Structure 1
Amino acid sequence: MSSCAARPMVGAVVLTMNDRPDEFPRAVASLLAQEGIDLDVIVVGNGCQPEQVPDGVRTVALPENAGIPEGRNAGAAGVGGDYLFFFDNDAHLPDTDTLARLVSEFRRDSQLAYVQPRISDPATGVTLRRWVPRLRASDPARPGVVTVMAEGAVMIRRDAYDRAGGWPGHFFLFHEGVELAWRLWDLGCTGRYVPDIVVHHPATDPARHDTFYRLNARNRVWVARRNLPFSLVPLNLATWCLITLWRIRDRQALRVTLAGFREGLAGAHGPRTSMSWRTVIRLTRAGRPPIF
């Protein structure tokens, strides 16, 4: 067999709304510059026909903005490869061997379902706490097994992604990474954070989205109701409420958050597939009990 035939295939998914004319071309160019792998890139226009797309890169145009997780699902359905790489369109890969190094992590561990690199701001080098997929996030350079993921730059084993059912498309935005990670763990898989592999992404505030507080609260409820054993759902949500009341000082933001919480309790969370108690124990041993 030739060395070319033995190269791993990675399917890369990038979303666009044609609103980042500088960042988007840089993101795609950094993907196309990757070495040591075969690459299949697809750009999904979320409610638009993608623009600024290089020759040879396929596109999918969704008729309306279906949200980030459903847009990623649409892209994943259109690419090949044993590995899927989901990539924000304002990020970029500073090195040409980034994807090959991520693939190598999978080849060392057959149980590994997803690998997350360290995400850092290109100007400051700062890695935000929300980008570190564990509870003790003060040291972003510490590697190890993780039970959640930062969705904007993550590689997932294709067969595990398919068995888990992909991203929860109706979430639209926020917490889809927790949902998918929990489902992958419930399949008997694990995740790994590899901070010596770096991806650049501007350090933005998720609260810049006008739907942040509502969807953040609603989807947190949905994740618990869809995935946890019944007895853990109230513990998870009570913990989240206490932390939220402690963190949020703005009254308007708190009102919107509570409205989103009530919306989540009202239903529409979709099919429920409770994780096993064995998975609860595995997550706890890995450092993150699923009540947090």
Structure 2
Amino acid sequence: MSHPRFGIAILTMGNRPAELRALLDSVAKQDLEPARVVVVGNGAPLPELPAGVHGVELEENLGVSGGRNVAIQELRRFGDVDVVVDLDDDGLLVDADVLSHLARMYAADDRLGIVSFRIADEHGETQRRHVPRLRAKDPMQGGEVTTFLGGGHALSMRMLDETGIWPDAFFFTHEETDLAWRALDARWRVVYEPALLLQHPKTSPARHAVYYRMTARNRVWLAKRHLPAVLVPVYLSVWAALTLARTRSWGGLRAWFGGFREGVFTSGGRRQPMRWRTVVRMARLGRPPVI
């Protein structure tokens, strides 16, 4: 990919117009101009957008997965985008060379599928959950990983053509891991690059009322869709034990186990278990698919 063309995709629910405008201004200041910028109003009307920004208003909230799929479809329709860059609507590109840095990375590696940004708040602090590897407290340690951050990342369109797009049924939580596992199984590389910074307010995923139910349901769907059969009970047992140890809210636990049951008895999409070579590759990267 000698001269990759970038499409920026931003999903919004219309409740952060000031933050959205600041993000779009930071995109406009990039030293490499994107080919397209698409903003999707996920079940909400869009504010006035700058000239050249393409807006799509959806009648209903399709979740993170569904909304981002709409953005990908719009960018495909234009036909001039090689790499999709997804950005949270309350994020900010502090540096002006994010796209040019990405361009060098994709130009140098034909099998680079996904690049995960570093996420830090306005004080420069990165939450532990935003470092996409185990036993790595240093957010400045980059390299190959087995999942990526939803708030800021880049996706090869050629990879998406091969692996498929976001899992619509997931709505939100674990959709990144689902896509990363498919990418790894198709022999694409997933890289965490801390030099690519998205400034983002400090938040907790549990702020969403349905977080506990969906994180459990989607965890089960993830295992059912992608793990070799023998690893499914191992993976789910480990996560059930971790949830019991970490969760201090009885209401949260009750919602989690309700979601777990929902995941067991419903389908999150077609099953396509990863190859054992992918399991071995993930283990070598420090995160075997049992945790």
TM-score of the pair, normalised by structure 2: 0.95
Deviations 1:143-162 (A, max 9, x none): 11111001110001111022
Which residue is 1:3 aligned to? none
Partner of 1:82: 82
Hey, what does 2:270 align to over in structure 1?
Answer: 271
- Counterpart for residue 147 of structure 1: 146
1:1-292 aligned within 5 A: 7-79=3-75, 80-122=80-122, 124-292=123-291
| 2:235 counterpart letter in structure 1 | N
Q: What are structure 2's unaligned runs of at least 5 residues? A: none
Distance 1:54 1:170 in 2: 32
Q: For the structure 1 residues 7 and 279, does the alpha-carbon distance in structure 2 shift closer, same or farther, using more than 3 Å as the test?
A: closer
1:244, distance to aligned residue in structure 2 (A) = 0.6
C-alpha contact (below 8 Å) 1:25/1:52 kept by paired residues: no
Equivalent position amino acid for 2:140 in 1? A
For residues 195-236 of structure 1, the C-alpha deviation after alignment (integer angstroms, 9 at most, x for no partner) is 122111111111110011111111111111111111110010
Q: What is the identity, as a one-letter code, of the residue corresponding to 2:209?
A: D
SS at match of 2:242: helix
Task: Measure, in 2, the Cα distance between the counterparts of 1:181 and 1:272.
Answer: 15
Amino acid at match of 1:163: E
Corresponding residue SS for 2:70? helix
CA displacement 1:161-198 (0-9 Å, x = unmatched): 22111111111110000000000001111111111221
**Residues 8 and 38, structure 1, Cα contact 8 Å, conserved in 2:** no
Amino acid at match of 1:281: V
Q: Does the 8 Å contact 2:3/2:107 carry over to 1?
A: no
Amino acid at match of 1:205: S
Shift of 1:48: 2.2
Checking the alignment, whether the CA contact within 8 Å between 1:229 and 1:275 is kept in structure 2 is yes
Q: What amino acid does structure 2 have at the position aligned with 1:68?
A: V
- How much has 1:111 moved relative to structure 2? 1.8
- For residues 35 and 51 of structure 1, the distance between their equivalents in structure 2, rounded to whole angstroms, comes to 26
Secondary structure in structure 2 of the residue aligned to 1:38: coil
Cα distance in 2 for partners of 1:198, 1:269 equals 32
Contact 2:4 2:106 in 1 (8 A): no
Matched length: 286
Question: Aligned to 2:92, what secondary structure does the other structure show?
Answer: coil
Report the residue type matching 1:94 in the other structure. Answer: V
What is the DSSP-based 3-state SS (H/G/I as helix, E as strand, rest coil) of the residue aligned with 2:137?
coil
The letter for the 1-side match of 2:94 is: P
CA shift, 1:49, in A, is 2.8
State percent identity of aligned pairs. Answer: 42
Letter in 2 for 1:109: D
Provide the rounded CA distance (Å) in 2 between the counterparts of 1:174 and 1:52. 29
Structure 1, unpaired ranges of 5+: 1-5
Displacement, 1:251? 1.0
Query: In the aligned structure 2, how far is the partner of 1:78 from the partner of 1:44?
Result: 10
CA deviations over 1:22-43 (Å, ceiling 9, x no partner): 2111111111221224331001
Indicate the RMSD between aligned Cα atoms, in angstroms.
1.2
**Alpha-carbon offset, residue 7 of structure 1:** 4.8
Q: Taking structure 1 as reference, are residues 57 and 73 closer, same or farther at Cα in structure 2, changes over 3 Å only?
A: same
Q: Distance in 1 between matches of 2:57 and 2:289?
A: 36
| C-alpha separation in 2, matches of 1:151 and 1:137 | 19
Question: Segments of 4+ in structure 1 off by > 4 A?
Answer: none
SS of residue paired to 1:155: strand
